[in-house]
Chains A and B, each alone.
Chain A
């Protein structure tokens, strides 16, 4: 990179930073947007930091199963997402470290004034690992891969609003939506939506040929994936590593031992109970971030006694979240306030009054519900989140002091998501969070949403959700989202116990810039963004 180019980039970064790229992306895209957007896309996150080329990084992740595959319709957890999405692929858009969205394989995008039609202009000269040039046809095939009656893709539900996708010449794609959606560019950054080469109109996922920073060298499901640097990568100067090996090490002790023994350079999710011992090793550095991920205890609001808002309120006050943070998560989490939107997400508020442990208020709400005492079952397994059983046992004790008897029902880990979650009236659940409020709410809180785990169906909330989606005035939008978060906090069925911290540990051989908090492992893009120090 030449000096003058570096200077231009630095200036562009300052300009973008001051402007809060998300705030007026529509105006910018519609006006002089094109050039700015291109400059924005040029600004790869690592470009500002001092990375060094070369090296072989071994990443030990907490997931990986012999049922894993290259098909992005699956991508169940961090192994496939880090190796195949972050390592091999690119999307039309990308969420960067500050949580804003910017074009990635697109050079720029524009929305119609009502935000229901989007045109994405593709970068020229981008090639797939198999040498094929990126065209509109590939984008259409890749998105269609997840749509339609026959699809069993995990991304099917977030694409339902797409009415039509068509090419506008070889380097532009037009999306027509059934309703206005100001956050549509965020949706396209989802890790299930990488762009794959099209073969006779069908996306080719089998070969693993993508556009990303690395080329797939070998993949042994449930064991490892080896990646080799893509010399023709379109992001200047990236990636840094020559080679990356992603290893599936589900056993946490094995993972930490592998890092201590120097057999891997990075591990995800070290054990919080022995983290202190790990930090004694002067060659190891721990990275901790508060992301969007949170642990909830959803109550089914259509089933007694949870259909009574005062019962829900009583339970919300009967849980000592501070104690759970201290005793179960050893401080590596922050207490929730029954708002599933993380403070760092745009338009997030912290609704009042804060739901903290208050036996008096809990008894008061119990009285308002017309009850002297209350007995409820809480179905938990550590499959929902590590520490769920311990948290439930603490809840049993704190609730008992409020006159509420909580029977902790220990469920098997196996098939938890099929047999307990959304089947038992009160259980434990985990959300990795979403980049926008609309996305999170339409996934889990809108009436009739497939994963509406509380079965909450609030007319005013649903109405606001639809209105806010098409609202381009930011002040009005903020007010709508504030009202919705307040409604959910006061009336909803989800107890947001804690926001969990993302924990990672790495040897000092590795270097990194600002670590993104939208997903774990630096937004799953550790392979592209980190380097050998």
Chain B
């Protein structure tokens, strides 16, 4: 009796999960469609055009006209939108305006997207476990010295603009070679200068330029990404850590945790086996939000470390009004957000079945 009931409940639960996920995917696609309209109109509304941007001072009315005709920009916007959408649906991102050796937007974006995902993944591999660990530790030792110190450090890191964090890290590396000759070194007592120089040289000489190409071997790319990944880790850890800490602390006051404690279970086990499973949903939301940021929002870090990611590509494309590339990048960003939110939603639903049955 109980067996069939459980099985029925299980099937109903699975069906419920499936319907919810399908409806989320449907909504995601609808959002994507709306976003495509927004992207197209936004790009359309940009002042200036490709011909003028790429020719710069060299743009004469004749060359501009020749360019626009060649690119088909003399036709109405609605028709161009229709064509673009039609191509996207069959997976064709189109051809770039810029005369390059690459004939295809996908070919231009692929290596850049790989680099961006590489850096995001590397950062996430460090930042997410670190944030969770710190979150749990601070929750365990809440209001203690460790908690306050960690909160202070991470809050400072998140408050500094990312380019500033990047420049500070770079400064440390560059100072290895230049500190000796700086005015500070001359002014300080000799033993202190020597100590600082020794400390600077103790830091491995991480590269300040993260230029990579598709030919760069995997581990070399990891090595070159150390500085940008560290910067990004400092920027995102605080957010995830504080959310983990807050949601765990929130749960620690609930009756079932009290019960677990009264049973004499160790604090670590209380958190890992009892509190954390119920804390996943807010943590998943915050992690997905930060991962999305790592993919779509790190252009400043890319510029500072000269890392060839997709953000830099999009900025270049906007600057030169290479519309197909801009649109493709924007679409990829939209898909990233929608996909990561979807995953976070699924994690939330799966870890909290109550959400399946709205009251």
Q: Residues of A at under 8 Å CB distance from B?
A: 60, 65-71, 73-74, 76, 149-154, 156-157, 206, 218-224, 247-251, 253-254, 257-258, 260-264, 277, 280-283, 414-415, 417-419, 421, 450-451
Q: How far, in whole Å, are A415 and B320 apart by their CA atoms in the complex?
A: 8
- Which residue on A lies nearest to B206, using beta carbons? A261
Q: Choose among B58, B108, B213, B312 the residue that contacts A224 (Cβ–Cβ < 8 A).
A: B213
What would be 27 A-B contacts, judged by CB atoms less than 8 Å apart?
Answer: A66-B108, A66-B312, A66-B317, A66-B325, A67-B316, A73-B99, A74-B54, A149-B66, A152-B67, A152-B70, A218-B215, A220-B111, A223-B306, A249-B306, A254-B304, A254-B306, A257-B170, A260-B178, A261-B207, A261-B208, A277-B182, A280-B178, A280-B182, A415-B321, A417-B57, A450-B61, A451-B57
Total B residues in contact with A, Cβ cutoff 8 Å? 63
B99 adjacent to A66 (CB under 8 Å): no
The smallest beta-carbon distance between B317 and chain A, in angstroms, is 7
- Which residue on A lies nearest to B97, using beta carbons? A67
Cβ contacts under 8 Å, A70 to chain B: 101
Cβ contacts under 8 Å, B308 to chain A: 220, 222-223
Q: How far, in whole Å, are A74 and B57 apart by their CA atoms in the complex?
A: 12
A419 adjacent to B208 (CB under 8 Å): no
B48 adjacent to A418 (CB under 8 Å): yes
Give B51-86 as 1s and 0s: 1 = Cβ < 8 Å from A's Cβ atoms: 111111111110100110010000000000000000
Counting CB contacts under 8 A, is B100 at the interface? yes
A418 adjacent to B209 (CB under 8 Å): no
Q: How far, in whole Å, are A218 and B96 apart by their CA atoms in the complex?
A: 21
B48 adjacent to A419 (CB under 8 Å): yes
| Max chain B C-beta neighbours (<10 A), residue from A149, A156, A248, A418 | A418
B54 adjacent to A67 (CB under 8 Å): yes
| Max chain B C-beta neighbours (<10 A), residue from A218, A224, A283 | A224
Q: Evaluate whether A263 and B208 lie within 8 angstroms (CB atoms) in the complex, with A152-B51, A223-B308, A450-B60 already known.
A: yes
Q: Evaluate whether A65 and B209 lie within 8 angstroms (CB atoms) in the complex, with A415-B47, A419-B47 already known.
A: no
A254 adjacent to B209 (CB under 8 Å): yes
Q: How far, in whole Å, are A221 and B108 apart by their CA atoms in the complex?
A: 9
Counting CB contacts under 8 A, is B119 at the interface? no
Cβ contacts under 8 Å, B67 to chain A: 152
- Which residue on B lies nearest to A69, using beta carbons? B100
Q: How far, in whole Å, are A451 and B51 apart by their CA atoms in the complex?
A: 15
Which chain B residues numbered 89 to 143 have a C-beta less than 8 Å away from chain A?
96, 98-102, 108, 111-112
Q: How far, in whole Å, are A220 and B107 apart by their CA atoms in the complex?
A: 12
Cβ contacts under 8 Å, A67 to chain B: 54, 96, 98, 100, 316-317, 320, 322
| Max chain B C-beta neighbours (<10 A), residue from A264, A421, A450 | A450
A65 adjacent to B181 (CB under 8 Å): no
Q: Residues of B at under 8 Å CB distance from A?
A: 46-49, 51-61, 63, 66-67, 70, 96, 98-102, 108, 111-112, 167, 170-171, 173-174, 176-178, 181-183, 205, 207-209, 211-215, 303-306, 308, 312-313, 316-322, 325
| Max chain A C-beta neighbours (<10 A), residue from B58, B60, B66, B112 | B58
B177 adjacent to A261 (CB under 8 Å): yes
Cβ contacts under 8 Å, B205 to chain A: 261
Interface SS majority for chain A = loop
Interface SS majority for chain B = helix
Q: How far, in whole Å, are A248 and B303 apart by their CA atoms in the complex?
A: 10
Top 10 A-B residue pairs of the complex, sorted by shortest distance between their CB atoms: A415-B48, A418-B52, A418-B48, A67-B98, A450-B60, A154-B58, A69-B100, A66-B316, A223-B308, A65-B316
- Which residue on B lies nearest to A70, using beta carbons? B101
Q: Evaluate whether A280 and B181 lie within 8 angstroms (CB atoms) in the complex, with A66-B313, A66-B317, A263-B209 already known.
A: yes
A69 adjacent to B101 (CB under 8 Å): yes
Q: How far, in whole Å, are A406 and B211 apart by their CA atoms in the complex?
A: 44
Q: How far, in whole Å, are A414 and B49 apart by their CA atoms in the complex?
A: 11
Q: How far, in whole Å, are A261 and B172 apart by their CA atoms in the complex?
A: 10
| Max chain B C-beta neighbours (<10 A), residue from A154, A248, A261 | A261
The smallest beta-carbon distance between B290 and chain A, in angstroms, is 24
Q: How far, in whole Å, are A69 and B97 apart by their CA atoms in the complex?
A: 12
Cβ contacts under 8 Å, B102 to chain A: 221
Cβ contacts under 8 Å, B207 to chain A: 261, 263
Cβ contacts under 8 Å, A218 to chain B: 213, 215
The smallest beta-carbon distance between B229 and chain A, in angstroms, is 16
Cβ contacts under 8 Å, A73 to chain B: 99
B57 adjacent to A414 (CB under 8 Å): no
Q: Choose among A60, A149, A153, A414 the residue that contacts B318 (Cβ–Cβ < 8 A).
A: A414
Cβ contacts under 8 Å, A151 to chain B: 63, 66
B60 adjacent to A65 (CB under 8 Å): no
Cβ contacts under 8 Å, A154 to chain B: 55, 58
Cβ contacts under 8 Å, B100 to chain A: 67-69, 221
